[in-house]
Structure 1
Amino acid sequence: MNKVLLLTTKYPCGAGEGWLTNELAECFSREGKSVSVLALSWEYEDGHSDVVELNGVKVYRSRLWKFFYRKNFICAMLKIFLFSLVVRFRYKRKIFDADLILATTPCIVIWGLLDFFMTRPRAKKYLILWDFFPYYMRDLWGSGRARLFSFFVKWENRLYNKFDAIGCMTKGSIEFLEKNYSVDCRRVRQLPLWTKQLPLVEVGAAEQKVLRAKYGIDEHAFVAVYGGAMSVVQGLDNILDLAASMKGRTEYQFVFIGRGPELPRLRARAVDEEMSNVRFINYVPRDEYEKIIAVCDVGIVSLAGEHAVPSFPSKSIDYLKVGLPVLASIDRYTEFGAILVNEMKAGRWVEAGDPVSLGQVLEEMRQDSVFLSDCASNGRRYYENEMKVELATQNIIAACEEV
């Protein structure tokens, strides 16, 4: 398996913007594989159509016309049904002679590519299953679109069965897959999240003071930071509810870093409710982002409480990488809380929608410097031992060779 093709909707190409998919593709390249990526720009800001060579990986990026990126239900459905067909048409004359075809979820948004490339009988096909798209959307839609949910589940099930092997993040994800989809459990493996191992970001007292001043972070406050996408999936109103309950307590500050469709509304709410303890920072390159979170005190993981599917938030990787204790506001169905407390030993969690309990836990963490120090070192140790990208490539190759 010397030629690898990755099909995905998330492959950042800007300086300092690398993500899990970049790290995986580049690791395969370092191991001597020829790696190509078909990347669909799911958000307009992800980049225009182009072909680039990036860190040993050939990236074929496609972006639709701007109309498809309007934030409404009709455009979202059109994008799901048409995007992968457009990409397939653009590259139908391009021969992707892959030995190993990797795809990331949600499968539905790349269905046209899957139906095309799965006709290659000699190529092994591996699905990296990060989320159960229809179930996430059902939790957000409610019962109003039950027929659409059922249609998407059946369609996704058909796509899952095209793969030789499927990798899930956690044991809970495997159990959910086997319970709700008709797939051969012998093809399913556990594939934990990964990252490229980097030295610990160390920020001295002088640099910390400079960084906090640069980004409007109070020098003396106990800072809880959220970094990542801002959409309805994250349920970030739970964090603003906590911030609102702590107005006037100058010892706390809440910092949000990132972008997304919910950012304008969240920012407006903070202004309307005069939350002077909340600070929004626009998207910054990853190396700068890691320095910012390193000078904070607690990293926040947030998920909307409506979800009833297992998950492992990828933003936690950055917190572990810089040795930042984690406070999670998450639904009770995900395994992440138990993993955070029992395996990582890197923080605490509270069920989403309970700002009182969340505030109590944050206060307890602030007052226990020994606990925070232990969480920091434990989290970094977990990152170093369990999240090596080389382990992911080994697991993928081994799974494909077994089937």
Structure 2
Amino acid sequence: MKLVLIADTFPPLRTSGAVQLRDLSREFVRQGHELTVLLPSSDLKQPWALEDFGGVRVLRLKAPKTKDIDYIRRTMGEFLMPYAMLRNLHKSPLAKEKWDGVVWYAPSIFHGPIASALKKASECKGYLIIRDIFPEWAVDMGLMGRGLPYRFFRAVANYQYSVADVIGIQTPGNAVYFDHWLQKPARKLEVLQNWLADAPVGPCSIDLAKTSLAGRRVFVYAGNMGVAQGMDILLDLAEHLKARADIGFLFVGRGSDAQKLAASAKARQLDNVVFHDEIDPDEIPGLYAQCDFGLIALHPKHRTHNIPGKFLTYMQSGLPVLANINEGNDLVDLIRDEQVGAVATENSPEVLARMAMALVEGGQNGDEMSRRCKTVYRRLFSPEQAVQQITSAL
């Protein structure tokens, strides 16, 4: 099939979304499909730039800045983004291209206009990949009420949904948000699991043997550190286990709360905690090879269901997880049913501390758990399955 994929993140960015779309794009090509990725770029001096990314055509289109700016300017930039992308697409060599299917990735919720235009021009179907339910999760977190801003974002999201013929959600629990959307005939909602390509263990710029965590059993957190993660409890956990000289905690990444968390660890004099800036995604397997367990945190106010990308990377590397997540999240049952770690919904550092010690003292059971992690990854989270599911739907 000749497909176009619309997104707002892709390498060289290091976000989990960029890594996911990199792996998905490569798999489309590996399975013999012709793929073009359309991306907004605020750094371009010209209207467009066409690149080759391992057999994937990547067309970057000049658009307003939407990253690392205040919320008001970001909202304005994202609202204008699809229109700027369309305008500059018409100036590019791909202006007259026709597609067999349009795929787009959310976040962002603002891709509806460009997805609609490309579908109509090519008279083809569209597949929306949704990885979080916005603005619902922002309301759950108390970041937004149900006033005018919420109604605006909700209208934008609903328009994006209306453009799609098929929507792929992360987990079955998120289906409740699409009951109204499904009332229109010929629409299809399905679970599209997250995916991650196999990655070899290579060199890593972080050498734990040269840090204060040398010789300890290490719990690692690698990824975004923001409001949605509710990571303060992980520092509370580290403080509870401060006396355990055999246990350490490593936090790698960036985000709105990263500096605050690092400052808090320093103020608490947590010598069992090390913070490090984000590293290249290709270094992650080498990092995890030095660690023993993966940490997951989702703010307890969440009501939507989410399987973080980092969970996949932990499974791929055979790291059992210690998770503190919201009650009722589908990830709770997945961890418990597959026996790939320990999960708490009480938001209690005492409970987490007991679970952490049980994991560390698991002995032979830990080896079996590590094997189960890799089995879960191979069975549920391969990009091969994701590509076959998307193309079958289209």
Normalising by structure 1, we get a TM-score of 0.87
Moved more, 6-15 or 294-303: 6-15
Counterparts of 1:391 and 1:143 in 2: how far apart (Å)?
36
Which runs of 5 or more residues in structure 1 are unaligned? none
Matches within 5 A, 1:3-402: 3-13=2-12, 19-40=19-40, 50-62=49-61, 69-94=67-92, 95=95, 96-142=97-143, 144-178=145-179, 186-198=187-199, 201=201, 211-214=207-210, 216-342=211-337, 344-351=338-345, 353-400=347-394
1:70 deviation in Å?
A: 4.8
Counterparts of 1:124 and 1:180 in 2: how far apart (Å)?
16
Q: Which SS does the other structure have where 2:259 is aligned?
A: helix
Contact kept in structure 1, 2:196 and 2:313, CA below 8 Å = no
Which runs of 5 or more residues in structure 2 are unaligned? none
Which amino acid in structure 2 is aligned with residue 160 of structure 1? Y
Counterparts of 2:70 and 2:111 in 1: how far apart (Å)?
20
Counterparts of 1:65 and 1:395 in 2: how far apart (Å)?
33
Moved more, 383-392 or 302-311: 383-392
Contact kept in structure 2, 1:107 and 1:156, CA below 8 Å = no
Moved more, 357-366 or 6-15: 6-15
Counterparts of 1:280 and 1:368 in 2: how far apart (Å)?
26
Which amino acid in structure 1 is aligned with residue 291 of structure 2? C
Counterparts of 1:15 and 1:174 in 2: how far apart (Å)?
29
1:14 deviation in Å?
A: 6.4
Counterparts of 2:352 and 2:14 in 1: how far apart (Å)?
36
Question: Structure 1's 12 and 217: CA in aligned 2 closer, same or farther, altered over 3 A?
Answer: farther
1:132 deviation in Å?
A: 0.6
Could you say what the CA RMSD is over the residues aligned between the two structures, in angstroms?
Answer: 2.8
Q: Deviations over 1:293-321 (max 9, x none)?
A: 12211101111111111111111111111
Counterparts of 1:41 and 1:257 in 2: how far apart (Å)?
26
Contact kept in structure 2, 1:29 and 1:56, CA below 8 Å = yes
Contact kept in structure 2, 1:157 and 1:181, CA below 8 Å = no
Contact kept in structure 2, 1:16 and 1:285, CA below 8 Å = no
Q: Which SS does the other structure have where 2:370 is aligned?
A: helix
Counterparts of 2:360 and 2:231 in 1: how far apart (Å)?
21
Counterparts of 2:230 and 2:169 in 1: how far apart (Å)?
23
Counterparts of 1:190 and 1:70 in 2: how far apart (Å)?
31
Counterparts of 2:121 and 2:307 in 1: how far apart (Å)?
32
Normalising by structure 2, we get a TM-score of 0.89
Question: Structure 1's 269 and 15: CA in aligned 2 closer, same or farther, altered over 3 A?
Answer: closer
